[in-house]
Amino acid sequence: MSYLSPLLNRSGAVAAGGLDAGVAAHYGDPNREQRLLAGYLGKPPSAVVDLSHRGVVTVSGPDRLSWLNTLSSQELKNLSPRVSTELLILTVQGRIEYDARVVDDGETTWLIVETAEAAPLAQWLTSMKFMLRVEITDVSPDWAVVGSVAEVPEWSDRTVWQDPWPHISAGGYSYAAVPETEHPGLERSWFEYLIPAAELVEAVGQRPLAGAWAADALRVAAWRPRRGAETDEKTIPHELDLIRTAVHLNKGCYKGQETVARVHNLGRPPRRLVFLQLDGSLHTLPAVGSEVLVDERVVGTVTSSAQHYEMGPIALALIKRSVDPEAVLIVNDDGEQYPANQEIIVATDAGQVLGRQTGFLRAPR
């Protein structure tokens, strides 16, 4: 049976679909909810987001961090309790299989993933444990996730993951075409609290709720890629600027490392993520999967679209690296066409870092 959040019983709740099926898209006023969530209608922000459909996998045992370190793109051996990070599980070809939000409480490592990823991730991890002292459990039915742009003081004793985006993690690297001080992700902080599912309604209480649409609009505006939205079966981390938060370039061997290193040092990612400011005169949003055109030639695909409370209709798209950064793009949604100005997220000269003296790309200071 598909999951349905108990918070869908809140007045005005309208169920979401797609990646957010099982929770509310909104509670009757998406624009106001987004303003509440962002803190526009008062400081500190008061609204929280029901993300209880998210998958949660735990890894316990004394070998958990060193073991996860060998399997993933992230350096985890010395991860301190309550410090948040992000890891990728890649294929041998370096393509993204899993993207997990990671926090350790000193005894257990918590992996927060998209709904459909929890069961297969737990199964795959179990198949890789061999004789090591680790225990893997899919605890999704027992734990709920609640999101917020600010820390919730009443939940200070709960396990929380804080999104590292857009800061460059140790061993990471920026592929962005803007100075780090101008990255729009700096305007969005993000926290995901782990709450026992049985306590969800009581924990949220009468706190204002914002729907998944509100959270996704702030994510898109921050250029933050999402597994299952910005990814497909061919995606490599470089195309989404995920080297900055999810990959440690100087750690030991892991599956897919050869591709990560080769593209970073010697090659170019074949595609690049872009932010689109859409023409709002149509008063609609293009569907995810809509074609992106240049002079009637298909050059990419819309991966996420949202109505932002300040910017209006916006989107993320994955396009060919060779597309002229000055080109005006057209988004084609089954014949409905939206002119779109592109803002470069991943630089057109991304990759080929070996021997590079100047350029947009930068490692952490």
Q: pLDDT value at position 282?
A: 84
* Residue 192 in marked binding region: yes
Q: Is residue 95 located within the same domain as residue 186? A: yes
The predicted-structure confidence for 22-47, as pLDDT tens digits, reads as follows: 999 999 999 999 999 998 766 666 79
Is 32 strand, coil or helix?
helix
Question: Does some domain include residue 127?
Answer: yes
Domain that holds residue 187: 48-262
Cβ count near 327 (within 10 Å): 14
Q: Within a domain: residue 365?
A: no
Is residue 135 located within the same domain as residue 275? no
Same domain, 252 and 327: no
Residue 199 and residue 102 in one domain: yes
Closest CA relative to residue 305, chosen from 324, 277, 328, 332: 277
Domain count, the chain: 2
Residues 228 and 130 in one domain: yes
Please check whether residues 207 and 172 belong to one and the same domain.
Answer: yes
Q: Parallel, antiparallel, or unpaired: how do β-strands 191-196 and 143-148 relate? A: antiparallel
Helices (H), 41-136: 64-71, 118-127
DSSP state of 169: P
Task: Note the maximum CA span of the chain.
Answer: 61
Q: Which helix (H) or strand (E) holds 162?
A: strand 160-162
246 and 312: one domain?
A: no
Q: pLDDT tens digits, residue range 109-146?
A: 999 999 999 999 999 999 999 889 999 999 999 999 99
Do residues 312 and 189 share a domain?
no
Looking up residue 300, the CATH number of its domain turns out to be 2.40.30.110
Q: Which of 360, 338, 311 is nearest to 34 (CA)?
A: 311
Q: Looking at residue 44, what is its pLDDT?
A: 63
Give the CATH number of the domain where residue 99 resides.
3.30.1360.120
**What is residue 28's three-state secondary structure?**
coil
Query: Which parts of the chain register pLDDT below 70?
Result: 1, 41-45, 355-365
Residue 104 belongs to some domain of the structure: yes
Domain annotation covers residue 158 = yes
Neighbouring residues of 308: CB distance < 8 A, sequence distance ≥ 6: 34, 217, 218, 220, 221, 314
Query: Is residue 359 domain-resident?
Result: no
**Shared domain check, 203 and 94:** yes
The reply to whether 244 and 281 lie within a common domain is no
